[in-house]
Amino acid sequence: MRRLGFALLLIAAGAAYADDAAWEAGALWADGNPKFTEKGSRDFQSNGPMLRSIRVSKRELPAGETCASTLARVRGHSSGPAFELDSPGRFAGWDDFSDDRDAVDGCDGFPCKIKFNEPESLAIAAKPKAERLAEVLRQVENRVRDYAKTFRRKGYDLPEDAIDPWKEFPKHGHEIPPALLKEKPKFFARKLKFGEGNYRPLRQVFDERTLVTKDRLVRISRDVYTAHYFDGWGEWLEVRCAKDGKSVLVLQDLLMEFDLLKNTDFFSRIARPKMRQGVDQESLRYQKEQAERLFSKTAVLSAGQ
């Protein structure tokens, strides 16, 4: 009986591995892959706190457009308004914090209700409540300045730095164009509603870089700061011209380092399946809406949508 049970476990593990392998980039880009449909195909994977939502789809070219013009238009859709250090409007993508002010004002120590590491949290807590929002923005700016020099993405509640999605993507078969890694960071800020009900909005600052060639677009992004729930967030977007000359093939790969899955207390452990299910549902919704906005002729991908 034990041998049978062990054999079944091996079969299940082998099937899971084969299924995951089918969602690696090299397999997905194989000629004639039936996963690329107008409806789209998608897989959700979980490895500890690292969650992956990968989706592929096919988009017909609008009348009068070529693949090149579609790629150029998609390139113009960023994750949010540009974030330029020392610019008066650098936090325009974050709105006025009215929906998260209690987390800011309630930062009385470490850990803080809004995500920061211990030195940052204590610096915020040391300010009077009326001055804490300004200190929050100052600490975010400090993270961006440090990242611009070192590319370091500091952790939050735990001492470890965030996992680097740009190092994780090659493990899933993606080949990052060297030109993108040599570029200077391009920062964007956005507010994202991720989850229904009383979930707090994600206020994020990204380093996002895009490369367009004759028949392909690649965009890589990773967060420099995220205000809630996620210690790390990274996205891969790839659009290729289809051989039929009438459509494009789209691959969206989202990696998330979910902080709540790192909690080891009893109640957190039993809640993990439900938490994973929630991220599964929201990441699919996010990617569907992102694809619609990316290929819209009129709407620009904007924060808060």
CB atoms within 10 A of CB 145: 13
pLDDT digits (tens, 9 = 90+) for 273-288: 888 999 999 999 999 9
Domain that holds residue 40: 33-98+161-294
% of the chain with per-residue pLDDT over 70: 90
The mean pLDDT value of the chain amounts to: 89
Q: Is residue 50 part of a domain?
A: yes
Exposure class string for 114-140: b at 16+ Cβ within 10 A, else e: bbbbeebbebbbeeeeeebbebbeebb
Q: Is residue 17 part of a domain?
A: no
Domain count, the chain: 1
Give the Cα separation of 168 and 85 in Å (integer): 28
The tokens of 11 are what?
A: 């079969």
Cα four-point dihedral sign 97, 100, 101, 105: negative
Give the Cα separation of 59 and 251 in Å (integer): 11
Check which CATH number belongs to the domain holding 178 and give it: 3.30.530
Q: Is residue 171 part of a domain?
A: yes
Q: Is residue 39 part of a domain?
A: yes
Q: Is residue 248 part of a domain?
A: yes
Give the Cα separation of 189 and 204 in Å (integer): 6
Q: Are 25 and 52 in contact (CB under 8 A)?
A: no
The tokens of 48 are what?
A: 């500890």
Rounded mean pLDDT, 256-283: 86
Give the Cα separation of 157 and 72 in Å (integer): 40
What predicted TM-score, i.e. pTM, was given to this entire model?
0.89
pLDDT digits (tens, 9 = 90+) for 205-225: 999 999 999 999 999 999 999
Place of tokens 């899933």: 172
Residue 291 above 60 pLDDT?
Answer: yes
Q: Is residue 1 part of a domain?
A: no
Q: Are 248 and 58 in contact (CB under 8 A)?
A: yes
